[in-house]
Chain A
Amino acid sequence: MIMNDLFNVFCRELQRMNSRRIYWVACLVLPLFSLVFMATIFGDGQMKDLPIGVVDEDNTSASRHIVRMVDATPELHVTQHFANETGARKAMQKKEIYGYLLIPSKITSLCYYYHNAMLSVGGELRSTFETILQEVSVTPIVTEAIGLGENESTLTSFLMPVSETEYPTYNDTRNYAVYLSQPFFFVFLQILLLLVTTYALGSESKFGTSDEWLESAKGNMGIAVMGKLLPYTLIFITISIFANVVFFKWMQIPLPCSLWTINGVTILFICATQALALFLYAIFPALSLIISVASMVGSLGATLSGVTFPVLFMDTPVYGASFLFPIRHFVEVVQSLLYLDGTFADYWPNITILLIVCILPIVLLPRLKHALITHKYDSIE
Chain B
Amino acid sequence: MYSPNVLREVPMVVVDESHTPLSRQYIRLLDATPQVHVQGVIADMPQAHERMKEGKATGIVFLPEDFETKVSRGEESVFVSYNTTMAFLSYATIKEATSGAMLALDTSVRPNQVVFLDADVVQPVVNTPSIPVQGIALYNENGGYATYLIPSVLMVIIFQTMLMVISMQCGKEYELQIRPFWSATNYNSSWGWAISMVIGKSVVYVGFYALFSVFLLGLLPLVFDLPHLASPLLLVQLLTPYLFGTAFFGLACSPFFKDSDAPLLLIAFFSVGLLFLSGISWPLELMPWPWRLLHCLIPAPVGVLAFVKANSMGADLSDISREMMLLWGQCVGYFVLACWGYKRKCHP
Residues of chain A whose beta carbon lies under 8 Å from any beta carbon of chain B: 20, 22, 25-26, 30, 34, 37, 40-43, 47-51, 89-90, 92-95, 98, 107-123, 126-127, 129-130, 133-134, 136-141, 144-145, 148-150, 153-172, 174, 176, 179, 184, 187-188, 191-192, 195-196, 199, 202-203, 206, 287-288, 291-292, 294-295, 298-299, 302-304, 306-310, 312-315, 318, 335-336, 339-342, 346
| Segment at the A interface, from B73-81, B183-191, B213-221 | B73-81
Q: How far is the CA of A156 from the CA of B113 in the complex (A)?
A: 11
B interface residue count range (under 10 / 10 to 19 / 20 to 34 / 35 or more): 35 or more
Write out the residue numbers on chain B whose beta carbons fall within 8 Å of the beta carbon of A179.
Answer: 85, 88
Write out the residue numbers on chain B whose beta carbons fall within 8 Å of the beta carbon of A196.
Answer: 265
Write out the residue numbers on chain B whose beta carbons fall within 8 Å of the beta carbon of A50.
Answer: 283, 285
- Structural contact, A114 and B273, CB atoms closer than 8 A: no
- Which one, B10, B91, B106, contacts A168 given CB within 8 A? B91
Give the distance to chain A from B289, nearest Cβ to Cβ, in Å.
10
Given A117-B139, A339-B84, are A291 and B282 neighbors across the interface (CB < 8 Å)? Answer: no
- Structural contact, A113 and B136, CB atoms closer than 8 A: yes
Write out the residue numbers on chain A whose beta carbons fall within 8 Å of the beta carbon of B280.
Answer: 117-118
- Structural contact, A117 and B288, CB atoms closer than 8 A: no
- Structural contact, B139 and A167, CB atoms closer than 8 A: no
Given A162-B106, A191-B268, A318-B1, are A40 and B288 neighbors across the interface (CB < 8 Å)? Answer: yes
- Which one, B8, B77, B95, B265, contacts A163 given CB within 8 A? B77
- Structural contact, A145 and B124, CB atoms closer than 8 A: yes
Give the distance to chain A from B131, nearest Cβ to Cβ, in Å.
4
Write out the residue numbers on chain B whose beta carbons fall within 8 Å of the beta carbon of A117.
Answer: 138-140, 148, 227, 280, 308, 312-313
Write out the residue numbers on chain A whose beta carbons fall within 8 Å of the beta carbon of B84.
Answer: 168-170, 339
Q: Chain A at the B interface: mostly helix, strand, loop or mixed?
A: helix
- Structural contact, A313 and B4, CB atoms closer than 8 A: yes
- Which one, A41, A109, A118, contacts B287 given CB within 8 A? A41
- Structural contact, B125 and A145, CB atoms closer than 8 A: yes
Given A116-B138, A116-B143, A120-B281, are A199 and B262 neighbors across the interface (CB < 8 Å)? Answer: yes
| 28 A/B residue pairs, CB under 8 Å, sorted by A | A30-B269, A41-B287, A41-B291, A43-B286, A112-B133, A112-B135, A117-B138, A117-B308, A118-B283, A119-B145, A123-B92, A126-B135, A130-B99, A137-B130, A137-B131, A137-B132, A145-B124, A149-B121, A150-B117, A157-B76, A158-B116, A158-B125, A161-B106, A162-B105, A164-B102, A168-B91, A188-B269, A295-B265
- Structural contact, B288 and A168, CB atoms closer than 8 A: no
- Which one, B149, B283, B316, contacts A98 given CB within 8 A? B283
| Segment at the A interface, from B49-57, B195-203, B242-250 | B49-57
Given A37-B273, A157-B116, A158-B114, are A111 and B143 neighbors across the interface (CB < 8 Å)? Answer: no
Residue of B nearest to A143 (CB): B128
Q: Does B328 contact A (CB under 8 A)?
A: no
Q: How far is the CA of A188 from the CA of B37 in the complex (A)?
A: 34
Write out the residue numbers on chain B whose beta carbons fall within 8 Å of the beta carbon of A292.
Answer: 264
- Which one, B83, B113, B132, contacts A158 given CB within 8 A? B113
